[in-house]
Amino acid sequence: MSLTDILSPSDIAAALRDCQAPDSFSPKKFFQISGMSKKSSSQLKEIFRILDNDQSGFIEEDELKYFLQRFECGARVLTAAETKTFLATADHDGDGKIGAEGIRSLISK
């Protein structure tokens, strides 16, 4: 399964266009534009599984910087500041990684 099986390719493209410039990425806005904020809990779980590149059950900082590239291989890499902000926003227990619940709670805010 791929992200385009769950999310509209045009919504993904619009979300990526919105954050093309370095330091313009906002997780909440990205989730809204991409349509992720309208998905069911089971769909979000599947999206998380796809985004978890090493299938560890968590998205770690080194995976997070390539977050946009999971949606489109030519997308930019998140800046260090964007990565740290994203991690701090979704890492609820301070362990340096984001679980599925962290992403779901961030999307539903």
96 within 8 A of 62, measured Cβ to Cβ: no
Find out whether 54 is annotated in a ligand binding site.
yes
Find out whether 63 is annotated in a ligand binding site.
yes
Find out whether 11 is annotated in a ligand binding site.
no
Distance CA 82, CA 59 (A): 15
58 within 8 A of 98, measured Cβ to Cβ: yes
33 within 8 A of 10, measured Cβ to Cβ: no
Find out whether 62 is annotated in a ligand binding site.
no
Find out whether 52 is annotated in a ligand binding site.
yes
Q: Where are the beta strands (DSSP E) in 9-89?
A: 59-60
Find out whether 5 is annotated in a ligand binding site.
no
Question: Annotated binding residues, as ranges?
Answer: 52, 54, 56, 58, 63, 91, 93, 95, 97
Question: Annotated binding residues for Ca(2+), as ranges?
Answer: 52, 54, 56, 58, 63, 91, 93, 95, 97
